[in-house]
Structure 1
């Protein structure tokens, strides 16, 4: 069973300097406006890291290159796949994202395929669910699966519209 099908809807960079990464992507890849979301906290009631409760804060910035969403994440506090990435790698491309209609089905497919779920959670009271799979077999650190609810979809559409 397939875990997810295309297209890839997002590429994400993890960085120690969100502003510098915004400038670089804008200057070199035609990204227009960025929307910065500072100090987003993922608490242990809504997020896990390797199956254990996680508690961390990140700054996020979102922009678009055509229809492709670009995301930049800067860890602020706590332990996450973002802090782990920066501990062993320079800032750079961290994950690509596929949207899924049913997270439970996608995660069951990942388990059946032997693909590890490294970090998972939800936000907006379950209005968006996400899971990061070990991406070693895909040539990237992680592959994100995201189920986008109507409120988050409306938010993304408004960002894209400018």
Structure 2
């Protein structure tokens, strides 16, 4: 890796997105939150542990300074979010290091694979976003998310507070 990899997002897995957003807003003043529902067919080409998989999730994002903070509530299907909730409960799930282009995202994936950080889960949202999660816990003690594109390209289903 020749260039510094910047953190673009912190992700937390929760069971109740609305209750968690409300708590963050009340205790930390964070908002407004943009809420997204990621389901097929907009969510596509999804995979889990190297096999095609179908899953969906609710996500809420808020900017805290220059950092995006994301809450994820799994909905249907098996996902690493559900696995995390079963094994660890709610809490910090991943650090995202999103890339600015497909070539950079592909190279990062290749470099991390060579370092032993295998793909856990991934997919595409619309035509502009690819996301993937890497099993980088053995090396970095945290799951990394990367890919290309950002939710700024998407229209939220709602905001909180309204």
Same fold (TM over 0.5): yes
Aligned ranges for residues 15-30 of structure 1 at < 5 Å?
15-30=14-29
Structure 2: gaps of 5 or more residues: none
**For 1:109 and 1:135, how far apart are their aligned partners in 2?**
12
Give deviations 1:92-149, integer Å, cap 9, x for gaps: 0111100223222111111211111111211112x11111011313222x11012117
The corresponding residue for 1:117 is 119
State the TM-score, normalized to the length of structure 2: 0.82
**For 1:42 and 1:25, how far apart are their aligned partners in 2?**
29
Give deviations 1:12-43, integer Å, cap 9, x for gaps: 110101112112222333312111123x2257
The corresponding residue for 2:51 is 52
Q: CA separation of 1:83/1:90 partners in 2, compared to 1, >3 Å: closer, same or farther? A: same
Is the CA contact (8 Å cut-off) linking 1:41 and 1:55 kept in structure 2? no
- Alignment length (residue pairs): 151
**For 1:123 and 1:154, how far apart are their aligned partners in 2?**
10
Give deviations 1:55-111, integer Å, cap 9, x for gaps: 011111111111211111101110000011011111001111002232221111112
Secondary structure, counterpart of 2:134 in structure 1: strand
Aligned ranges for residues 86-101 of structure 1 at < 5 Å?
86-100=85-99, 101=101
**For 1:83 and 1:54, how far apart are their aligned partners in 2?**
13
Matched, 1:129 2:127: no
**For 2:11 and 2:40, how far apart are their aligned partners in 1?**
18
Cα RMSD (Å) of the superposition? 2.3
Secondary structure, counterpart of 1:108 in structure 2: helix
The corresponding residue for 2:110 is 108
State the TM-score, normalized to the length of structure 1: 0.82
The corresponding residue for 1:66 is 65
Q: Which structure shows the bigger proportion of residues in helix conformation?
A: 1
Structure 1: gaps of 5 or more residues: none
Higher RCO structure (Cα 8 Å, ≥6 apart):
2
